[in-house]
Amino acid sequence: MTTILEYWPLFVKGTLVTLELTFFSLIVSLMIGLFTAFARISRNAMLQKLASVYISIIRGTPLLVQLMYIYFIFPEFGLDLSPFWAALIGLSLYEGAYLAEIYRAGIKSIGAGQLEAAYAIGMNYSTAMRRIILPQAIKNVLPAIGNTAILLLKNSSLAGVITVNELMHTGENIAVSTFRNVEIFTLIAVIYWLLHYPLARFVSYLEKRMSNDSSKRN
């Protein structure tokens, strides 16, 4: 307990870095996912192919490899990134690929008749997508987006491999210097659980609400 109290400010700082990394990566990945989903359903064959290749590469390789590639290989091409920015880009690209498929599934779940009805009242594709299709699609996939946010929070722990001083990396450094592995890694696990719990409850609430709405419609 003395060790934990002594190093508590470092744990707090590491937790804040974890939250900051998760928050900004989620914002960026939501945008990447949306643009990639539109590319996937685009009539432009080149956009479809580029989006498919991006998703295949990201989903087909481990996040750890991607983080190390961005941090260690990119500087050889003149792009020298700080550990935090390398982690943010890596996490955003990784989560964006999964979110793209979530968005695409949500858009595909909306009946084609609604798009046709939008055309019938004079809307073009972009207006119909923005005002009618996309709001419904996002509502349908909110629980899946929430689960992605939870995974992102946990995946942020891999950023320690490229020396981002987030919670996990901070704990590892303290454990190496104090040899109090049980207390330190137990505390880290508890902190991650406390961070994830509100998100998990919110996702559960969304799933229950959507299930109730679906039952009422039927």
Q: Which pLDDT belongs to residue 138?
A: 83
Across all residues in the chain, what is the average pLDDT?
Answer: 89
Mean pLDDT, residues 55-65: 96
- The SS3 of residue 121 is coil
How many domains, in total, are found in the chain? Answer: 1
Q: How many helices (H) and strands (E) does the chain have?
A: 10, 0
Greatest C-alpha distance within the chain = 71
Please answer whether residues 131 and 123 qualify as being in contact, where contact means their C-beta atoms are separated by less than 8 angstroms.
yes
Q: For residue 156, what are the CA distances in angstroms to 5, 9, 23, 92? A: 24, 20, 10, 10
Under the banding of pLDDT at 50, 70 and 90, the label for residue 122 is confident
- The SS3 of residue 109 is coil
Indicate the range of 49-53, 75-79, 97-101, 106-110 predicted with least confidence.
Answer: 106-110
The answer, as to whether pTM is greater than 0.85, is yes
102: nearest Cα among 49, 139, 67, 129:
139
Give buried/exposed letters for 170-192 (b at 16+ CB in 10 A, else e): bbbbbbeeeebeeebeebbeebb
Please answer whether residues 25 and 70 qualify as being in contact, where contact means their C-beta atoms are separated by less than 8 angstroms.
no
What sign results for the dihedral spanned by CA atoms 86, 87, 88, 90? positive
Residue 174 has pLDDT above 70, yes or no: yes
Q: How many other β-carbons are positioned within 10 Å of the β-carbon of residue 197?
A: 11
Mean pLDDT, residues 41-55: 94
Residue 39 has pLDDT above 90, yes or no: yes
> By residue range, what is the domain housing residue 39?
2-217
Please answer whether residues 17 and 167 qualify as being in contact, where contact means their C-beta atoms are separated by less than 8 angstroms.
yes
Q: Which pLDDT belongs to residue 209?
A: 77
Q: Which pLDDT belongs to residue 94?
A: 97
Q: Which pLDDT belongs to residue 104?
A: 92
Mean pLDDT, residues 204-211: 78
Residue 77 has pLDDT above 60, yes or no: yes
What sign results for the dihedral spanned by CA atoms 169, 170, 175, 178? positive
* Both tokens assigned to 19: 């939250």
Q: Rounded distance, CA 88 to CA 215, Å? A: 40
CATH number at residue 134: 1.10.3720.10
Q: Rounded distance, CA 183 to CA 191, Å? A: 12
